Structure 1
């Protein structure tokens, strides 16, 4: 019989959309619903004239993860465990979109592509549960490049009075591609005003 720690070590993690404020509904052409399983969605921009994108489409290109149910965009995703039946349903949902909206020749081909997209998203979820992930896409010299940043929950420490938590709720851990120009994302500012 497997011990509880063995089961958790075998659990698959994936990215799930999260909405900390209503801005995604105004920034993107279609916003993902909070709680959808997510992929990077870069495939939505293949073959498109990236340098001609404007407004909401440009915002979606630059920073949008894609919910597999809605094909809507989300600025942030969170790392969570996914059950096998949920993973199967996510592959099926994304495969239906790839087949019906993106022109995959067969549902089998769409399913293979969807499984590959979810496998890549799972590789980005190799962080602690609850870690937030943000993405920034660039188009340079005819190629799409992606950068990812993580925001991890901090352990709570008590203040001098022994009762109240001290420090911020998250710490920043930046994953930077040395070849790309530096650009900053204000994740704390996106969370809204302080109480």
Structure 2
């Protein structure tokens, strides 16, 4: 199974996002955060997060670049629980019964996209606001000589 981790290739995320994700955090698109946004919301660092920020499940931060890597079922389940709890605490979900299936779907969508790429592929996102809502497009960069382990640690820090 595959998912993606945030990468810090330089210090630019520190400058463009209100809450930059640390390197090595598990990432999803996070487009849900912008579902009720209008042009008036797209200013400053919020515009940067909207335009090209991946969402870190652990911190809620944003990253410009993510890399595809393997994930275990145990790690996936922890991420589902963490994201469901975030939906309750930060986005007003009424409880775990409502939040958990949505968290599972968000992570499944990201997993499905990552399965199409080999490990260490870099992914970038671009979003635009259309009359029908948020439109996301993705770009990929094939793996080079360095592996993601040079940037992100797989597994627990404990």
Contact in 2 for aligned 1:51/1:139 (Cα 8 Å): no
Deviation at residue 52 of structure 1 after TM alignment: 3.4
**Correspondence for 1:151 among 141, 146, 149:** 141
Give me the whole-angstrom Cα distance separating, in 2, the residues matched to 1:52 and 1:38: 23
CA RMSD of aligned residues (A): 1.4
Q: Runs of 5+ in structure 1 lacking a partner? A: 1-11, 157-168, 170-195
Aligned twin of 1:56? 45
1:27 equivalent in alignment to 2:16 = yes
> Higher Cα Rg: structure 1 or 2?
1
Q: What's the TM-score, normalizing by structure 2?
A: 0.87
Is the 8 Å Cα contact of residues 38 and 129 (structure 2) preserved in structure 1? no
In the other structure, the counterpart of 1:89 is 78
Structure 2: give runs of 5+ residues left out of the alignment.
147-158
Structure 1 equivalent of residue 122 of structure 2: 132
Post-superposition offset of 1:142: 3.9
Q: Deviations over 1:14-73 (max 9, x none)?
A: 011111011111101101111111110011111122443101000000000000011100
SS of 2:50's partner is helix
| Alignment match, 2:54 | 65
Matches within 5 A, 1:1-195: 12-125=1-114, 126-154=116-144
Q: 1:142/1:50 Cα in 2 relative to 1: closer, same or farther (>3 Å)?
A: farther
Which structure's residues are more often helix, by fraction?
Answer: 2
Q: Whole-Å Cα distance in 2 between the matches of residues 147 and 48 of structure 1?
A: 18
